[in-house]
Amino acid sequence: MGKSSLKRCDWCEEKTANDSQSNVFWELPDGSRAIQITGVPSVSCSHCGMEYQEEAVINEIEDQLMLIDTKSIDKVITYTKLMDHPRLLKKNYFRF
């Protein structure tokens, strides 16, 4: 197993970013409340200090929140449990 390679940071463009996990707050699609999602795949840059989620992760979370019964989830949920939550539809038909 090799050492993880550094990535280019989307913010400062230096090659000083690593994969990490973070806790985020997300507003539900209906605007009724916000939830905390723990253990979200993220990128952390040691140069500029930014910690962010890549576009693919953002889209996965947003799609999942559109496709599940959000009333059945607590105020805090892990990323894994959120992504494993049963969907009402197979996919987000609004994403082309």
- Tokens, residue 22: 């973070």
Q: Which residues pair with 41 in a beta bridge?
A: 21
Residue type, 2: G
* pLDDT at residue 11, as a whole number: 95
0.95 surpassed by pTM:
no
Residue showing tokens 């952390």: 44
DSSP 28: -
* pLDDT at residue 1, as a whole number: 42
* pLDDT at residue 4, as a whole number: 60
Q: What is the rounded average pLDDT of the residues 79-85?
A: 97
Which of 55, 21, 14 shows the shortest CA–CA distance to 37? 21
